[in-house]
């Protein structure tokens, strides 16, 4: 294996574990996006450009936008509940 491939696999492992262990949802989401970008690079190295484009578009693109919107709604609901308790 090439050194670059080993580094990318190591980064994938670190990103996967960090996403699971992070307590902050926003940090988890950013790490998840990094995981998707690294995975699309791995697909390019494996000579599968169609999968790389799909991973970049769906993994780092659409999924991340939907998760950001969900996170925003969760925070809005929390603020609303806190204001009602006061």
Average pLDDT of adjacent 10-residue blocks, the chain of 86 residues: 91 95 92 94 94 91 92 92 85
Residue 39's pLDDT is: 95
Residue 86's pLDDT is: 72
The total number of structural domains in the chain stands at 1
Q: Which residue range is the domain that position 8 belongs to?
A: 3-85
Q: What is the pTM (predicted TM-score) of this model?
A: 0.83
Residue 40's pLDDT is: 95
The b-or-e profile of 20-53 (16+ CB within 10 A means b, else e) is eeeeeeeebbbbbbbbbbbbbbbbeeeeeeeebe
């Amino acid at each position: 294996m090439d050194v670059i491939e080993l580094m990318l696999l190591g980064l994938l492992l670190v990103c996967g574990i960090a996403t699971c262990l992070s307590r902050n949802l926003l940090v988890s989401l950013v790490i998840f996006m990094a995981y998707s970008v690294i995975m699309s690079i791995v697909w390019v190295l494996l000579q599968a450009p169609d999968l790389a484009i799909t991973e970049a578009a769906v993994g780092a693109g659409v999924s991340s936008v939907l998760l950001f919107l969900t996170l925003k709604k969760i925070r809005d609901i929390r603020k609303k509940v806190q204001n009602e308790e006061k």
